[in-house]
Structure 1
């Protein structure tokens, strides 16, 4: 969900470099062609508004990172700059201070910014594309403790895919020596991580299943291989060897990203689903809405899995 730095970083104009002779840029600011994201950094307004929300969030993070004097990008904002996939589309920029737990008063904060009071040691800061951000391990810690286990699992899975030298042992050690509020949430996220996960939505679904602790669920496998008609196919999640959970992201149906027309993608999915059902698997197709908690806290996907478990239990006990 994070675009590359050349595409998004190159969109920004540093207004601090304006000369008194640059009337063209000043005219663009006046007529709204350029949009000021901070007092110091502007972006082409039309291009910015055409971006999908997750890319707008990254552009805002880059703008504040360019303008920051003493602050450092952290949590989800740092994850976006590091190229770590996240669930949230919220464009709130998250910041902390180097070796300081003081935050500016609310009257001095820009709209849609969030400052955290836990100090960030210099040893936990890296520079990416000229922006100061928390390093990978500290970023994962902060995302989990500020945004919860599910978002923590998503970013940890993504980081394990993206950074070959990263492993569960390193992540576990990173959480052992820190004494930060919410660190237990990070440790729980590490316990639930799986580098075989291929997308944020898949990580989200797996985390929600584990957290639901449904009676009867013993094992959840990620990207499990299933023999179908003499060939091996992979399914997103396989619960206890019989319940397949396929997580659908809308991007696969855009007719562009996967290099196939939408109707072809749908036909192939139906054929695959039918082949699995003919072998005795139960298949659940899960979308974004199925993972959004209802007002009472229940999650539709979890309810669907519980219902499938109940049907199987009745079938096994019926003479």
Structure 2
């Protein structure tokens, strides 16, 4: 009896905004769904290729788990899981779409289809997934994820979000990100200083830059205003670069 929320946890998929007060399981041996003793039993078909084993426990695989969750939770929470599922499977969209196609007439399939179409394994954290949903919600263009930018000094810079037409970069700042970038014998302050130098270099190349924190994910109007201002700076920076004499 694979549980899609339990499966997400066992598969180490990210969870945010999901109600964990009830256990959800999927059963192919039921004619109708029911709730018993705090467990929601979903009657649904299960293909062998949609299951996997985690430490001796049979659970739905990443793609089936992502679609099942997306049929039952709000869009933003579902995108976090779906992005994580794609990240785990090497951004294999074809397999995710195949699972979605088998479930296209099921309850909640329309909502799940929207999530699947939006999901992108290029999001590397819950914060980045939620930021992408925010960009969609406030009407920003769709950015390219984990873009690599070659600096004039030959150094390669990587940005969480690149709005190419607007010549603007978006960065999500989370504590886990700084921990991930720590080098041996470094302190978090060293990473902050390195990030500042990196941002200064990108601004010097003419890019507009906006940094987001967890609190910003609840400030739609402020975030939109900041990006609109950055788009103007980025476009101006592009014009300056185009008119700069060579050499």
**TM superposition score category, shorter chain reference:** 0.7 to 0.9
The aligned counterpart of 2:241 is: none
Q: 2:150 aligns with which of 227, 242, 257?
A: 227
Could you tell me how far 1:172 is from its partner in structure 2? 1.5
Q: 2:53 aligns with which of 112, 127, 138?
A: 127
The aligned counterpart of 2:227 is: 305
CA contact 2:64–2:96 (8 Å) conserved in 1: no
Q: 1:168 aligns with which of 72, 77, 93?
A: 93
The aligned counterpart of 1:272 is: 198
SS of equivalent to 1:280: coil
Could you tell me how far 1:90 is from its partner in structure 2? 5.8
The aligned counterpart of 1:22 is: none
Mapping for residues 173-188 of structure 1, pairs under 5 Å? 173-178=98-103, 179-188=105-114
Could you tell me how far 1:175 is from its partner in structure 2? 1.3
The TM-score normalised by the length of structure 2 is 0.78
Could you tell me how far 1:116 is from its partner in structure 2? 5.2
The aligned counterpart of 2:40 is: 115
If asked which structure has higher relative contact order (CA below 8 Å, sep 6+), I would say 2
Could you tell me how far 1:239 is from its partner in structure 2? 1.0
Alignment partner of 1:150 is 2:73: no
The aligned counterpart of 1:244 is: 169
The Cα offsets for residues 63-96 of structure 1, whole Å up to 9 and x where unpaired, read as: xxxxxxxx4321x321111122333476435322
Q: 2:16 aligns with which of 83, 87, 93?
A: 87
Distance 1:309 1:256, change over 3 A: closer
Could you tell me how far 1:245 is from its partner in structure 2? 0.5
Q: 1:288 aligns with which of 196, 201, 214?
A: 214
SS of equivalent to 1:72: coil
Distance 1:97 1:213 in 2: 36
The aligned counterpart of 1:195 is: 121
User: Over aligned residues, Cα RMSD in angstroms?
Assistant: 3.1
The aligned counterpart of 1:40 is: none
Distance 1:127 1:313, change over 3 A: closer
Count of matched residue pairs: 231
Question: Which deviates more from structure 2 when the two are superposed, residues 270-279 or residues 86-95?
Answer: 86-95
Alignment gaps of 5+ in structure 1: 1-70
Distance 1:143 1:89, change over 3 A: closer
SS of equivalent to 1:104: strand
CA contact 1:144–1:152 (8 Å) conserved in 2: yes
Distance 1:122 1:252, change over 3 A: closer
Could you tell me how far 1:143 is from its partner in structure 2? 1.8
